Structure 1
Amino acid sequence: MTEQAYASLDIRLMRTLRLLLTECSVSRTADLLGQAQPTVSLTLKKLRDIFQDPLLVRSGSTLVPTERGLALRVAMNDILGRIDSHLSSQTGFDPATSTRHFRIVASNCLGTVFMPQLIGAITDIAPGVSIDASPLPSQEDLMSGLSEGRIDAVIGNWPHPPDHLRIAPMLKTDIVCLVRSSHRFARRNWTRIPLQDYLNESHLSPTSERDAQFSPIDGRLLDLGLKRHIRATVPEYSIAPYVLARSDLVFTTGRHFAEQVAQTFPFAVLDAPEELGQMHFYTLWHDRKHHSPDQAWLRRMIKNASAEMRALDRAHPLPLPPALCELPG
C-alpha cells in the first residue's frame, strides 16, 4: 500500500474489514454493524482499492477470503485486539452487579457432572451474569472464536491442546467402559479390558472420526498408531445411555460420568485398557483475555468448581440428574 492508502485506513475501516473477512457476507456484516447493505458494499469496494486485492471472492453461492484476505484477518485480529486491550477499562469486576455474558465451550464428558457445579456457583453470587455453555465446535471455529474473543474459555480433555493458548489443569479421572449387563464384557472376570479385545468391539462415541484429535480416546489411539471401530456417534452425551441400553456397543468415558449413569441404568462399568491412560481436563483461554478482570473471575470460578467436584468425588458419587432417571422401556 502507498502512504496515502495507509492514511485512509482508520479503526472504523479495520473493524469493518475484520467483520467482512470473518462473516464472509456483506448482508450479515451490515446487520451486525447496524448499517445499510449498500453502505457496507461501498466500504468493501474502498478496502479493495486500498489493498489492491479482491479480499472476498465467490465460491459457488458464498464468499471466501483470498489469501491476502486471510492474512489481513489475522492481522486485524491482532491489531484490534491490542487496541481494545489498551483502551478497555481495568477498574475491576463486580459479579454482584455485572450483566456480563460469558461463552464457555466444554467437553461433553463433564456436562452432567461439572457444569451444574459451575453454573450453580455463578448464579449464586452473580445473578446478572449469563452463561452460554456450548459443545466443542470444529477446530477452525474454536481457534477463531478464541482469537476473536467470541469464546471466553474452553474446558477440554483432548491429548494435545494447542501450545499457543494459555492452559490451567482442572482435574483428572480414570477412563472406563460402559456396557449393558448382557454384553459379553460384563460376564468376564476381567480387572481391566485387554486392548485387543477393546479394539475388536464396535463402539459408541460422542466424537466423529473426522474430529478424532479432539477425543481423549481416539487421540490417544492415534498416538499409538491404532484405531477403533466407531459404529455410531451421538450428538449429545445424555443420549449415550439410551443407545447402550438397546445395543452391544461399548461407550468409553471418564469414571465420573460412568458411575453416575450406572446408579440408574443396568450397566457394567469396566476399566478401559491401561494403554489409554487417564483423562485429563484443563481450561484453555487466549492471551488477549488473560488480563481482563472479568475473565480472571471466570477462571477462578472454574477452578473453584473443579476443587469442589474433586472433594465431592472423594466423598460419594455425584447423583444422576432427573433428566436421566427414567429407564428406557
Structure 2
Amino acid sequence: MNSQNFDLNLLRVFDALMREQNVSRAAERLALSQPAVSNALGRLRELLDDPLLVRVGRRMRPTPRALALEGPIRSALQQIEQSVGASEAFDPASSRQRFCIAVTDYVEQLCMPRLLQQLGEQAPAMRIDIRHLSPSLPAEALDRGELDLVLGRFDEVPARFARQHWLSETLLLALRRDHPLATGSMDLPRFLQLRHLWVHGGQTRGMVDQWLGEQGLCRQIAYSTPNYLQAAHIVAGSELAAVLPSQLARYFASLLPLQLFELPFALGPFHLEMVSLVQRQREPALHWLMTQIAAIGQSAPV
C-alpha cells in the first residue's frame, strides 16, 4: 500500500465501523449514506488487503488485522482532533458531536434531565448516548473510545485516567407508607426485623452489610436487583425495605407512598466521580460537557 495515496477520510470510516461493527450504524454516526460507507469499506479492504469485518451469523466481526489497527488509528485520530481543536474556539450552539457516557440508572435519573435541559438551551444538536455502568471501571471501553466519560463510584482508577469528584451522597431507608414497622423512629432492632431489598449494582457486599458484618450482625435480604429506579416501585408495593441514595429516595417519596428514615447507624457519605482519559482532557467539546455535568453535581442538595 502506498501511504501517500491513502485517503485519510477512510480512517474515520474505519474507526466508526470498528466502534459500531455495523455499516448502517456507522453511516449514522458519520452522517453519511449507507452506500457511501459500504464503498469506503470496500476501498479499505482493497488498500489493506484484508476483509477487516466479516459476517458471523447476523453480526459483523473484526479480523485480527482490524483489531491490530484499531488502537493506533483511533489514537492518531484523537491526536489530530486535539491539535485542530486546540486552535479553534468550541461553539456549543453549532456542535453536532455525539458523546457516550456510562452511568447507573440512579445517576442517569439524578443528572441527565438537568443536563438535557442545559443542552437544549446551549447545544441543541449535541447527542448523548447512555450505556449501563458495570461495577468496575470500564477501562478498556474508555481506552478504545467506545466511552467518552463515566460517572460512578470507583475504588481504583489507573493513572492514565483523570478522576474528578462529582457528588457526595448519603443513604436513607425507604418503606411503604403503611408498612407495619413504618412508625416512630427507626432503631437497629427494628431495622434487623425488616425484610430487605438490596440494590447490589454488581457488588458482592455493600456499605450497609459491611458495617453489619463488622458488628457481627446481618439483615434478611429477600430480594436483590441491579436497578435503583425499580427498587423504589417494588418497595412502594410490598413489605420490603430498601436502603437508597438520599436524593433518589426523596425524589420517589414525592411520587410514591414511601416513608423515609435515617439509618440507625452512621455510615458517612459515599462519593461519585467523573472519569475520562487524561489525554482527552484538552478536547474542547468534552471539556465543555464535563463542565456542565460538574456544575450539576455542585448544585445538588446535600
The equivalences for 1:19-30 within 5 A come to 19-26=16-23, 28-29=25-26
Whole-angstrom distance in 1 between the partners of 2:81 and 2:277: 14
Give the length in aligned residue pairs.
292
Residue 70 of structure 1 aligns with an amino acid whose one-letter code is L
Report the Cα distance in structure 1 between the residues aligned to 2:184 and 2:287, rounded to whole angstroms: 49
What letter corresponds to residue 17 of structure 1 in structure 2? F
Task: Give the direction of change, closer, same or farther, for the CA distance of 1:56–1:139 in structure 2 (3 Å limit).
Answer: farther
Q: Work out which of the residue numbers 287, 291, 297 in structure 2 matches 1:306.
A: 297
Percent identity, aligned pairs only, is 22
> What residue in structure 1 maps to residue 33 of structure 2?
34
Per the TM alignment, residue 81 of structure 1 is displaced from its structure 2 partner at its CA by 1.2
One of 165, 169, 190 as aligned partner of 2:165: 169
The verdict on how the C-alpha distance between 1:170 and 1:180 changes in structure 2, with shifts beyond 3 A counting, is same
Taking only aligned residues, the RMSD between alpha carbons, in angstroms, comes to 4.4
User: 1:155 — aligned with what?
Assistant: 151
Partner residue, 2:261: 269
Alignment correspondent of 1:79 = 76
Q: Secondary structure at the match of 2:300?
A: helix
SS in structure 2 of the partner of residue 93 of structure 1: coil
Which of 226, 238, 262 is the equivalent residue of 1:247? Answer: 238
Match of 2:13 among 12, 16, 24: 16
Report the CA distance shift for 1:179/1:159 in structure 2 as closer, same or farther (over 3 A). Answer: farther
* Aligned amino acid, residue 61 of structure 2: V
* Letter of the 1:71 counterpart: A
Q: Where does 1:120-269 land on structure 2 (aligned, <5 Å)? A: 120-121=117-118, 123=120, 126=122, 128=124, 130=126, 132=128, 134=130, 136-137=132-133, 146-147=142-143, 151-161=147-157, 163-181=159-177, 186=182, 190-191=186-187, 197=192, 201-205=195-199, 207=201, 212=202, 217=206, 231=223, 233=225, 237=229, 239-263=230-254, 265-269=257-261
- The amino acid that maps onto 2:104 is S
Q: Distance in 2 between matches of 1:24 and 1:227?
A: 46
Looking at structure 1, the residues matched to 264 and 156 of structure 2 have their Cα atoms a distance apart, in angstroms, of 20
1:76 to partner: Cα distance: 1.6
Conservation of the 8 A alpha-carbon contact between 1:25 and 1:63:
yes
| Matched-pair contact (CA < 8 Å) for 1:217–1:252 | no
Instruction: Give TM-score, length-normalised by structure 1.
Output: 0.66
**How much does 1:28 deviate?**
4.6
Deviations 1:241-284 (A, max 9, x none): 3221112333332112223333452323342865x653211122
Give 1:169 shift: 0.3
Measured in 2, the distance between the counterparts of 1:289 and 1:117 equals 24
Match of 1:108 among 102, 105, 108: 105
CA distance in 1, matches of 2:129, 2:51: 37
CA contact (8 A) 1:192 1:270 kept: no
Which secondary structure state, in structure 2, belongs to the residue aligned with residue 84 of structure 1? helix
Distance 2:242 2:261 in 1: 10
- Secondary structure (helix, strand or coil) at the match of 1:88 reads helix
Report the Cα distance in structure 2 between the residues aligned to 1:193 and 1:303, rounded to whole angstroms: 40
TM-superposed deviation, 1:167: 1.4
